[in-house]
Amino acid sequence: MIPAAFDYVRAGSLDEALKLLSKHGDDAKLLAGGHSLLPAMKLRLAQPKVLIDIGRLSELNYIREEGGKIAIGPLTTHFEIESSSLLRDKCPLLPEVAGHIGDVQVRNRGTIGGSIVHADPAADWPAAILALDAEMEVAGPKGRRTIPASSFFVDMLQSAVQPGEILSAIRVLTTPKTVAYEKFAQKASGFAICGVAVVVEAGAARIGITGVSGKAYRATAAESTLRGKFSASLIPGASQKAAQGVDALSDIHASAEYRSHLAGVLTRRALERALARA
Amino acid sequence: MAKTKEAAPQGYVGRAIKRVEDPRLIKGIATYVDDMTLPGLLHAAILRSPHAHAKLKSIKTDAAKKLAGVVAVLTGADVNDKLGTIPCAAPMPDQKSPAHTVLAGNRVYFVGHPVAVVVAKDKTIARDALDLIEVDYDALPAVVDMEKALEKGAALAHPELGTNQAYKWSLAGGDVDAEFKKADKIVKARMRHQRLIPMAMEPRGCVALWHAGEGTLTLWTSTQVPHLVRTLLPGLVHVPENKTRIVAPEVGGGFGSKLNLYAEEVLVSHLAIRLNAPVKWIEGRRENATSTIHGRDQIGDYEVAVKKDGTLLAIRSHTLADMGAYLQLLTPAIPTLTGLMITGCYKFKAMRMDVTAVHTNKMATDAYRGAGRPEAIYAIERLVDLVADDLGLDPLDVRLKNLPKPSEFPFKTATGLSYDSGNYQGALKKCQELADYKGLLKQRDAARKAGKLFGIGLSTYVEICALGPSKIMAAGGWEWGCVRIEISGKVTVITGATPHGQGQETSFAQIVADRLGVPMEDVVVMRGDTAVAHFGRDTYGSRATAIGGTAIVMSIDKIIAKTKILAAALLKTSPKNVEYKPGLFYDKKKPKNSIGWGKLAGEAYIAKNLPPNFEPGLEASSFFEPPNCTFPFGTHIVAVEIDPDTGRTKILKYVGVDDCGNQINPLLVEGQVQGGIAHSLGQVFFENCVYDESGQLLTGEFMDYAIPRAGDIPDYVLGSTVTPSPSNPLGVKGIGEAGTIGSTPALSNAVHDALSPLGIRHLDVPLTPEKVWRAIRDAKGGKR
């Protein structure tokens, strides 16, 4: 459990971090909360030559209202989101999801930005990012660009953030209280075998599902069953489509069949709970 | 200390006193092996096989040796012929097992098999050097499945043995065939007791110090059994026993996994001698998962002959037991304990158990909390429920019908054991009361009417503890203890039983303080160092209090007898007039003429006023050889509800009543039961050691191997009954493993009861949500 040797540099600003990234290229990894990277390094599954520590960049750690949206700095910890009164009031899905991540120590160190850029297929945040239809802003050598949630999660452990880029902001719209997150955790790791985040508004639902397949996805078949005619009686039927067309994962913790089944069960439960909050 | 010794508070025994060990553990100021440091300490790291079975074609160590800070890189060719092989203390007749060299020879036989060792100036360099060793492996077919291993033409785990069968063993009592002929029904079941990884919080580790001038070896090692290590290690590293000192400092969990002599302990000792420098090795978590013993891994085919009124006649079992690649200290003995206890707490007239033990290319199995008895009690308690199901009887009635009455003790079992004492009906009744069993039955009726999967599970267990009389043990089943009243009047107790977290620093102090009439705070219990505890057989099989505690009581009796003579001289009376009550010797003719330990201790050591021929000092030591094992028992009742959509089980109520004889400290008893139940929760609901078909361990991290966490533990209702053991003067039995043994079947029976309306008869543990969900779905599908 001893990592291979590496150099460590601490960036004093986002600009400096970008310069360091371009200088070190593929040899470098960004260190934020370190909760995915450091365990991989201890097992020597990751052996970066340089760690660029961005963990103390206060310019990337905030939760604030910005032009009708809520902007969240990527270095905001899970606990800061869990305990944010602004989010509880205006985007309650995020604090609810945060409470399902790891344990208190993990939530105190791990960051939302580190998690979503890592794009672990069983992480909790991707379900919420999709259900909220969030947008991600990344900073790179050529300036800033915005990536919608729908194209952010590219593949297993691969997000749309390119080499040389750093996630600089996450923006979400405010939602009503009719949201919910249902999770069935893998017993050992606590990661999601299936996690379903839902936002019910304007007679429709957005459903983000994590853990089931190689990347988190929107349950579009289930959503379209409900669109414009959302009602409690339609929930069971819609939920059955939660894994429709999805290539589910199978491993020692759960078969593809069980994951797909859970997607249906948890979608139903999440929708029912969200509706009950209306 | 407000109270004087003469007026010491009495009645420590039986009180729930907080553990004196805990403050240092909670504050993080206890000393574990990895806290040890020595001048010039070197660090070892071990290269382990990534293959389950392979030929070692070549090992190139040049690059590793050249790394700055590396002191030595050694392979099997460098060390094996200089060292003995790892011993098994319990080989079976006609056993076919491989010689277990310290490092791999020309083959590796399991993932994690030590191949080479690096010694370096710090642990980082040692770890880096491992990546520079080049090993050319020629992978061979791995034997992973113990059933397939016995098929004709199966690949061989150890080709040189010509077979995968390690041994066959049988135990029989009574006329099995005759009883089966009398049966109205034969209830059959096949059960798998899955492989488990003990996962002690502290992995293994050791520090070896060689004193070249004295020719002495000191090994600090995270072990349950420093005395057994001292018995076994000297011959392997060629250092005389009386120049070998083994120290087990604080040990962060063992559960049987540190009841062993491991290759690494031999290797690190050798390195210290060879390099003439102290060497430390600390196991990583993944190493711990691959290379520290595993538990369970039996498959049993069981048949029970019963009368239609539920009378149990006989039980027969064919059991397969996976030994793994090598035999560790007690590997072959574990299934024999299953055989001894297979009749549980029931009046079977006959039994037969045939064990076939199998070698595979996996880590060795060995003793793990319960060691063979959990398999037996799990099997019989599930079987009794199946008997009840098949005969349409209440599982409670079947149990009551077959339990021996209190008047039938000592109770001879069909397996040949003599259960020392028991009141099984008493524990059952108390558990029913605490559980409000009738209320639970009503709750179940109501829940089932509402379409819920609600189940009640029961187990009435007995287990064998306080191992044991030397005639049944490999190398002595006695225990040693020493009590010394110091010149200051403080009391030093030394036990050879090596408690390592079970709390005997507290409970032994309670026993001693009561008998000597001194404050508990004045008693120190020392353990774990063979230079301090000169003899010992250590802790396993819930033996420390019953056997080790008795050795201490015997020593106190010797001191009191001796001190009467001194007291008589000082009281100017005859020894026959001196009487003792805790803390005080007095003249029975003039009771006010008395003297206490403080004055007596001073006189005994200053030695100016001793009677003729009186040896100075107040110290005595004793060996206690137990006449029998002890047999704790109890009843556990569990209520669960299963979520049919996910298959997840929720524990609604957990009630246990355990009888471990007299209790020295009920808080320690309850703590042991709680911890034991936690282990059961793991086994019943999620723990599972998984190797893939090529012999790769898929559950070698806490990311994949689930162990119980605080949030998994239900609110327990725990009670007890007290049926003293006649096997020792304390009347105690042992409680370290009872929780695990009693609760595994109770939890499983509850799940099966919940599933019974669907016609689901038996599922093997672990009863994971997916497994339960599939069973429910398949059962419902079948009804359509």
DSSP category for residue B158:
S
Contact B286 A43 (CB under 8 A): yes
- Do B127 and B133 meet the contact criterion of CB atoms below 8 Å apart? no
Q: What pLDDT digit, counting tens, does each position of B666-680 carry? A: 999 999 999 999 999
Spatial separation of the C-alpha atoms in residues A78 and A94, rounded to whole Å: 9
Spatial separation of the C-alpha atoms in residues B594 and B246, rounded to whole Å: 43
Q: Does B706 touch chain A (CB under 8 A)?
A: yes
Minimal Cα distance from B707: which residue of A? A188
Residue B782's pLDDT band, with cuts at 50, 70 and 90, is low
Per-residue pLDDT averaged across B139-146, rounded?
97
SS3 A246: coil
Contact B704 A189 (CB under 8 A): yes
Q: What pLDDT digit, counting tens, does each position of B33-58 carry? A: 999 999 999 999 999 999 999 999 99
Contact B646 A265 (CB under 8 A): yes
Per-residue pLDDT averaged across B6-26, rounded?
84
Please report the pLDDT score of residue B5 as a whole number: 38
Per-residue pLDDT averaged across B115-129, rounded?
98
Residue B784's pLDDT band, with cuts at 50, 70 and 90, is very low
Q: Give the closest of A2, A44, A253 to B124, CB-based.
A: A2
Spatial separation of the C-alpha atoms in residues B291 and B115, rounded to whole Å: 12
Minimal Cα distance from B287: which residue of A? A1
Contact A189 B703 (CB under 8 A): yes
Domain boundaries, chain B: 22-30+478-624, 420-464+630-784
Residue B10's pLDDT band, with cuts at 50, 70 and 90, is low
Q: In CATH terms, are B22-30+478-624 and B420-464+630-784 the same topology?
A: yes
Q: Which of B475, B471, B627 is nearest to B547 (CA)?
A: B627
Q: Does B50 touch chain A (CB under 8 A)?
A: no
Q: Which of A171, A237, A242, A246 is nearest to A206 (CA)?
A: A242
Q: What structural domains does chain A harbor?
A: 7-53 (3.30.43.10), 58-173 (3.30.465.10), 179-276 (3.30.390.50)
Decide yes or no: CATH 3.30.365.10 for domain B420-464+630-784. Answer: yes
Q: What pLDDT digit, counting tens, does each position of B60-89 carry? A: 999 999 999 999 999 999 999 999 999 999
Q: Does B693 touch chain A (CB under 8 A)?
A: no
Contact A187 B706 (CB under 8 A): yes
Contact B704 A188 (CB under 8 A): yes
Residue B474's pLDDT band, with cuts at 50, 70 and 90, is confident
Per-residue pLDDT averaged across B259-270, rounded?
98
Contact A265 B645 (CB under 8 A): yes
> What is the architecture, at CATH level 2, of domain B22-30+478-624?
2-Layer Sandwich (3.30)
Instruction: Tell me which chain B residues have a C-beta less than 8 angstroms from the C-beta of A265.
Output: 645-646
- Do B621 and B482 meet the contact criterion of CB atoms below 8 Å apart? yes
Low-confidence ranges of chain A (pLDDT < 70): none
Whole-model pTM: value is 0.95
Q: Is the confidence at residue B8, as pLDDT, over 90? A: no
* Mean pLDDT computed over every residue of chain B: 96
Provide the b/e sequence for B584-595 (b: ≥16 CB within 10 Å). Answer: bbbbeeeeebbb
Q: Percent of chain B beyond pLDDT 90?
A: 97
Contact B702 A189 (CB under 8 A): yes
Instruction: Tell me which chain A residues have a C-beta less than 8 angstroms from the C-beta of B690.
Output: 252
Spatial separation of the C-alpha atoms in residues B202 and B224, rounded to whole Å: 12
Please report the pLDDT score of residue B6 as a whole number: 38
Q: Percent of chain A beyond pLDDT 90?
A: 97
Instruction: Tell me which chain B residues have a C-beta less than 8 angstroms from the C-beta of A255.
Output: 770
Per-residue pLDDT averaged across B533-549, rounded?
94
Residue B511's pLDDT band, with cuts at 50, 70 and 90, is very high
Instruction: Tell me which chain A residues have a C-beta less than 8 angstroms from the C-beta of B127.
Output: 2
